[in-house]
Chain A
Amino acid sequence: MIAEESIWHLTQGSYLVASALFIFSLRWLSRPETARRGVLAGVLGMTLAVLGTFLNPHVKHFEWIAIAVVVGTIIGVPLSRVALTAVPQRTALSHAFGGLAAGLVGTAKYVLWLESDELTTFRMFAIAVEVILGFVTLTGSLMAAGKLQEVIPTRPITYRNQNVINLFLLAIAVGSGIWLVVDPTQWQLFPLIIGLSLLFGVLLIIPIGGADMPTVISLLNSYAGLAAVAMGFVLENNVLIIAGALDGSSGFILSVIMCRAMNRSFTNVLFGAFGQVQAAAVAGEQKAVKSGSAQDAADLLEASNQVVVVPGYGMAVAQAQHRVRELRDQLSKRGISVKFAIHPVAGRMPGHMNVLLAEAEIPYDELAEMDDINPDFAQTDVVLVIGANDVVNPAARHDKTSPIYGMPILDVDKAKSVIAIKRSMSPGFAGIDNELYTADNTMMVFGDAKAVIGDVVKALSGGSGIH
Chain B
Amino acid sequence: MQQLDFWTMAFVFMLATFIGFDVIRSVSRLLHTPLMSLTNAISAIAVVGAVLIAGEQKTTFSTVLGTIAVAASVTNIVSGFMITDRMLRMFKKREPSK
Residues of A within 8 A of B (CB): 4, 8, 18-19, 22-23, 25-27, 29-32, 35-36, 38-39, 42-43, 45-46, 49-50, 53-54, 56, 58-62, 64-65, 67-69, 71-73, 75-77, 79-82, 84, 87, 90-91, 94-95, 97-98, 100-102, 104-105, 107-109, 111-112, 115, 122, 217-218, 221, 224-225, 227-229, 231-254, 257, 342, 344, 349-352, 354-355, 358-359, 361, 363-367, 369
Contact = CB atoms under 8 A, between A and B. Distances in A.
Given A236-B3, A236-B4, A349 B74 contact: no
Contacts of A350: 29, 32-33, 35-36
A64 B61 CA distance: 13
B68 A104 contact: yes
Given A76-B75, A249-B24, A233 B39 contact: no
Given A87-B37, A101-B72, 19 more contacts: A8-B1, A25-B42, A26-B23, A38-B38, A65-B51, A72-B73, A72-B75, A72-B78, A76-B78, A95-B40, A101-B73, A108-B65, A225-B39, A228-B45, A233-B9, A235-B52, A243-B43, A249-B24, A257-B32
A166 B74 CA distance: 32
A85 to B, nearest CB: 12
Contacts of B27: 26, 29-30
Contacts of A352: 33
B27 to A, nearest CB: 5
B39 A240 contact: no
A42 B79 contact: no
A193 B95 CA distance: 56
Contact of B36 (A49, A217, A344, A359): A217
B35 to A, nearest CB: 6
Contacts of A245: 13, 16-17, 19-20
Contacts of B86: 80-81
Contacts of A23: 19, 23
Nearest to B95: A363
A29 B34 contact: yes
A43 B53 CA distance: 22
Nearest to B78: A76
Contact of B44 (A36, A46, A342): A46
Given A221-B40, A359-B90, A229 B66 contact: no
B24 A253 contact: yes
Contact of A236 (B9, B13, B79, B81): B9
A64 B56 contact: no
A388 B94 CA distance: 25
A248 B87 CA distance: 22
8 contacts: A26-B23, A61-B54, A68-B70, A72-B72, A98-B43, A241-B16, A245-B13, A351-B35
A54 B51 CA distance: 8
A90 B46 contact: no
A60 B84 contact: no
A26 B36 CA distance: 10
B63 to A, nearest CB: 6
Contacts of B81: 39, 42-43, 46
Given A65-B67, A68-B71, A98-B43, A351 B29 contact: yes
A65 B77 contact: no
